[in-house]
Amino acid sequence: MEKKLKLPALGLAAGATLALLAARGERDMRMSAVEKYFVNRPGHAANVARHALDLVARTPIEKGEAYLDVGCGTGAAAREVAARFGLRVTGVDIDPAQIAEAARGLAQPNLTFLTMDATRLAFPNASFDVVATSKATHHIPDWERAIAEMARVLRPGGHLIYSDLVLPVAPRQLPSSSRLEAVAKRHGLIEVYRARSFAVLDLIWRKSGS
Ligand SMILES: C[S@@+](CC[C@H](N)C(=O)[O-])C[C@H]1O[C@@H](n2cnc3c(N)ncnc32)[C@H](O)[C@@H]1O
């Protein structure tokens, strides 16, 4: 019974978050101190890491491959992916404070954190085997450009793992199902996995070519 009440409440909370973000306009969609407090809590970080591991486990990967986490926050997911799958992981985030926090964690030789804007990734074309992004695109007004950049740095045949709050219809600065499909088509991203839990949409795309 309790579970039944909780799930719609979560959906409503996610919808309210998106409405607030949309109302904030295009100028500042980065996290406020309050959002940061909730997103960076250890319990939340553990959930985020678990979710990332689940999605990576569904993706064809080989040990030693290059993995990019865009909007990595404090790096909880990146750290677990590097430890569990033996990938060479790079985490990037626009917020230097988030990156400083990420870099304070356990040092791993296959893990690097860099301050970087998702809409201007400073990597050559096709330099990653896997690109992942979780709960970040709804903070990026030009999220379509961010996905274009993720597709650019992904090698043909590589995979893009996407997870975020996505509504069927949303203002242009927030990801919506239909716009995501159009963006994926434009960049040669072929859907190989999809799951939805209320407002959260998980997608895995394979970049065309090999
Ligand atoms: C809600 S947090 C999600 C963090 C982590 N990926 C997770 O799943 O918990 C959103 C993150 O996106 C980052 N972000 C916002 N705009 C960005 C941009 N243009 N480029 C890179 N990161 C960005 C924020 O600084 C923040 O750390």
Could you give the percent of the chain with pLDDT greater than 70?
86
Cβ atoms of 112 and 75 closer than 8 Å: no
168 domain residue, yes or no: yes
Whether 40 contacts 100, CB under 8 Å: no
* Type of residue at 173: Q
Closest ligand 1 atom to 95 CA: 25
In a domain, 2, yes or no: no
Identify whether 146 is part of a domain: yes
**Residue 174 CB partners (closer than 8 Å, separation 6+):** 18, 21, 22, 138, 143, 167
Residue 107: band (very low, low, confident or very high) from pLDDT cuts 50, 70, 90: confident
Spatial separation of the C-alpha atoms in residues 70 and 143, rounded to whole Å: 12
Query: What CATH code is carried by the domain that includes residue 159?
Result: 3.40.50.150
Is residue 129 assigned to a domain?
Answer: yes
Ligand 1 atom showing the smallest separation from residue 30 Cα: 15
Q: Assess whether the C-beta atom of 93 lies below 6 angstroms from ligand 1.
A: yes
Total structural domains within the chain? 1
Q: Give me ligand 1 centre to Cα 71, in Å.
A: 4
Residue 90's SS3 state is strand
Q: Is the minimum distance from the CB of 138 to ligand 1 under 6 angstroms?
A: no
Expressed as residue numbers, the domain containing 185 is 7-207
| pLDDT greater than 80 at residue 6 | no
Residue 34 forms part of a structural domain: yes
Residue 188 forms part of a structural domain: yes
Q: What is the pTM of this model?
A: 0.88
Q: What does the pLDDT read at residue 26?
A: 46
Q: Which of 144 and 29 is assigned the larger pLDDT?
A: 144
Q: Does residue 1 lie in a domain region?
A: no
Residue 22 has pLDDT above 50, yes or no: yes
Q: What pLDDT shows up at residue 106?
A: 79
**The predicted structure's pLDDT at residue 195:** 98
